[in-house]
Amino acid sequence: MNIADIRRKKPPPEAPGIFTPELLDRCISCGFCLPACPTYESTGVETSSPRGRINLMRALETGLLPADDPTVLEESSFCLGCRACESVCPAGVQYGELLEEWRDHLWNGRRRPWRLRPLLWAVDSPRRVRAMGTVRRNAGRGGEAPGPVNLMLGCFERVLYPRVSRDARALAPELAAPAAQGCCGALHAHNGELARGRELALELGEALPGTIVSTSGGCAAHLAGVLGRERVKEFSQWMVERSPVPTRLEPSKNGADSATGNGAAASKPATRRLRIGLQDSCHLRNGMGVFREPRELLATLGEYIELPSAAICCGAAGSYSVLRPKDSARVLDPHLDEIAAADLDVIVVVNAGCYRQLEQGIKRRKLRTRVIHIAELLAESDAGPNESSNGHGEVAPAIVVTQVHAGLEQAPQLPARTP
């Protein structure tokens, strides 16, 4: 049976109703998304492309294929969920939502990957998430009431990278950071527990009324999808909208750029500007359309270098690096090649999963580049808190950023790919 046959086939009256029909019908099978898909690029196999996966979904919906079909199961897991296909789709296919519905149907009972279970369990209860947060000194303050603008502490981020929220708060003191907040539910929504994922986002929305600022792009995109774009800002987006752009990072007295922290640049001349790269967060970029903001901020701190793969998934992809470590490492490899070739001092991340993924890869390769969150790098620069903020959640009007890196008016181009 070919693609046309699958498209012609109508769901039987007793169709399981796995997918929202308008979402599934929107794909016109044009194939524009194929060159943007990392898994298609690496395999050249149609079923490992967005169009191929949508046709598998259709086959599932119409009963042509059962839920335990090996290709259906494999492709639901092999997909990174990066949503790069969405940003190039002329028909406006919301692939991310389709993938959530797909996994919600498939990844149940015995079909749920066993490695997922402890992860989902750990973040399922706001009480457990808060308890995890007490282990490390993050920005969360017990007893602090929510304000008009609130900093989301994340679940794993508050344990693995507690400095991120501390620095975010130091840079934007108008952010309240009550410790009494749970997980945003992104992990659940992307891994077969869609209803629970939405529930957790709504609970977080109640715990943090008003605007929520997230230092993790993936969490911001999920929250924005449930609570609405007007209520959610990613940290770099917030910083660009509310504050003057920080002044340029000055080299420290010993000749090393202070933001390298580990003194990696100590052997470089004092006048050398910090060489900065960025790894986009897929959901932030492809889901929320936020990619200019971090670049605008970074261009004020040193020499911003646009890596060819900056916009492409690094392989962290939520739980992907846990579920498919070999594939995840394969996706990461070209990023590490580019970081090494560009001789970066720092590679900046805007998402906790990318932080971990790049840290581990760079350690494995023994590269000199330091991985750092954008809030940490801004805090290490001479950015300082925004004087125009009164500390009560009132913010300065949006500013015009003048030091925009050349070419930011358009999305950075994807590197040439093999057919």
Q: How far apart are CA 26 and CA 5, in angstroms?
A: 16
Q: How far apart are CA 248 and CA 258, in angstroms?
A: 12
The Cα-based distances of 388 to 232, 294, 296 in angstroms read 21, 20, 19
> Please, what is the minimum distance in Å from the beta carbon of residue 93 to ligand SF4?
4
Query: Are 153 and 182 spatial neighbours (Cβ–Cβ below 8 Å)?
Result: no
> Please, what is the minimum distance in Å from the beta carbon of residue 416 to ligand SF4?
17
> Please, what is the minimum distance in Å from the beta carbon of residue 37 to ligand SF4?
3
- Binders of ligand SF4 among residues 172 to 201 (CB under 6 A) are none
State yes or no: residue 45 binds ligand SF4 (CB under 6 A).
Answer: no
Query: Are 375 and 171 spatial neighbours (Cβ–Cβ below 8 Å)?
Result: yes
> Please, what is the minimum distance in Å from the beta carbon of residue 288 to ligand SF4?
15
Q: How far apart are CA 227 and CA 212, in angstroms?
A: 10
Stretch of 11-19, 76-84, 116-124, 200-208 lying at the interface with ligand SF4 (CB under 6 A): 76-84
Report the residue from 23, 82, 155, 164 that binds ligand SF4 according to the rule CB under 6 A. 82
| Token reading at 318 | 């939520």
State yes or no: residue 84 binds ligand SF4 (CB under 6 A).
Answer: yes
Half-sphere exposure of 310 (CA within 13 A, CB side): 24
Q: How far apart are CA 244 and CA 383, in angstroms?
A: 9
> Please, what is the minimum distance in Å from the beta carbon of residue 73 to ligand SF4?
15
- Binders of ligand SF4 among residues 370 to 399 (CB under 6 A) are none
Residues contacting ligand SF4: total by CB under 6 A:
26
Report the residue from 6, 59, 85, 347 that binds ligand SF4 according to the rule CB under 6 A. 85
Q: How far apart are CA 272 and CA 254, in angstroms?
A: 12
Stretch of 85-93, 100-108, 133-141, 292-300 lying at the interface with ligand SF4 (CB under 6 A): 85-93
Interhelix angle 50-61/95-106, nearest 10 degrees: 50
Report the residue from 6, 23, 24, 37 that binds ligand SF4 according to the rule CB under 6 A. 37
DSSP 3-state of 223: helix
Report the residue from 58, 83, 283, 324 that binds ligand SF4 according to the rule CB under 6 A. 83
> Please, what is the minimum distance in Å from the beta carbon of residue 83 to ligand SF4?
5
State yes or no: residue 224 binds ligand SF4 (CB under 6 A).
Answer: no
Residue 165, strand partner residues: none
Angle, vertex CA 140, rays to CA 258 and CA 204, nearest 5: 120
Site string for ligand SF4, 262-291 (x = CB under 6 A): ------------------------------
State yes or no: residue 168 binds ligand SF4 (CB under 6 A).
Answer: no
Classify each residue of 148-183 as buried b or exposed e, where b means 16 or more C-beta atoms within 10 Å of its C-beta.
ebbbbbbbbbbbbbbbbbbbbbbbbebbbbbbbbbb
What residue type is assigned to position 336 of the chain? L
The order of strands in the sheet holding 149-152 is 149-152, 211-214, 232-234
Closer residue to ligand SF4 in complex, CB, 54/352: 54
State yes or no: residue 33 binds ligand SF4 (CB under 6 A).
Answer: yes
Q: How far apart are CA 227 and CA 216, in angstroms?
A: 16
Site string for ligand SF4, 54-73 (x = CB under 6 A): x-------------------
State yes or no: residue 53 binds ligand SF4 (CB under 6 A).
Answer: yes
- Binders of ligand SF4 among residues 94 to 113 (CB under 6 A) are 95
Closer residue to ligand SF4 in complex, CB, 43/262: 43
State yes or no: residue 320 binds ligand SF4 (CB under 6 A).
Answer: no
Binding site for ligand SF4 (CB under 6 A): 27-33, 36-39, 50-51, 53-54, 79-85, 89, 91, 93, 95
